[in-house]
Amino acid sequence: MANARAEAVAALVDRLGHRFADAALLERALTHSSVGEGADKAAGKPARHNERLEFLGDRVLGLLVADRLHSEFPEADEGELSSRLHALVDKHACGRVGARLGVGPAMRLSPGETKTGGRRKEGVVADAVEAILAAVWLDGGIEAARRVFERAWAEELAAPAPRALNNPKSALQEWSQGAGRPLPTYRVVGQTGSDHAPTFTVEVSIPGVEPLTAQGRSRQDAEKAAATALLKREGVI
């Protein structure tokens, strides 16, 4: 089993295209928190698992995606950029990336987590993917992380944008009506900044659904951002 995992880790490194100067960073990124329940804990030495790296990796991924989208879609408004970002950083996207990289077989899990199929769990794999990106960032800096991101997310970046990203207000309207609810309503609840550069805060409401607010440089952008955020929160996109 140890040899099989070592082979899986080597294959993962090849797919990432990054050779770690500090291999311990990758090992920590691949170590699930359940490992602390096993032999290490019994020996009084809890393992250094990947949760802190996952925290950092989530932010690294968000930065890299935001930078890519800002350059690739110069005419897109804030709402569309937010929608595209959410689609590329959510757990489903990270899980798909992890499956293509072969992260599951390379992970270090407790026997119990392994028996319950941890290597195939989308959430476990997605968290490890974020941790790996953080490990690359710490090991080689932002450009190393960018190279891994561009390589690992190539298929996600090439995929057509979901329809909801192009018109989030229409998508939210269809979702609400499909659930038997009234149409969404929007209202401005705040405005800051100067007259020539205002920032609007808009609340979107649907009966039976918790309201949500978002901001934009115009009322229209704020409404799109609010619709996108609500679709994301409810798991539609």
Are 63 and 145 a contacting pair, CB within 8 Å?
no
Cα–Cα–Cα angle for 169, 175, 180, rounded to 5 degrees? 125
Q: Which of 113, 127, 130, 221 is catalytic?
A: 130
Q: Which of 58, 90, 156, 203 is catalytic?
A: 58
d(CA 156, CA 235): 18
58 assigned to active site: yes
d(CA 104, CA 220): 42
Q: Beta-carbon neighbour count of residue 148 at 10 Å?
A: 23
Write the DSSP symbol of residue 110.
-
Q: Give the residue numbers annotated as catalytic, written as ranges.
A: 58, 130
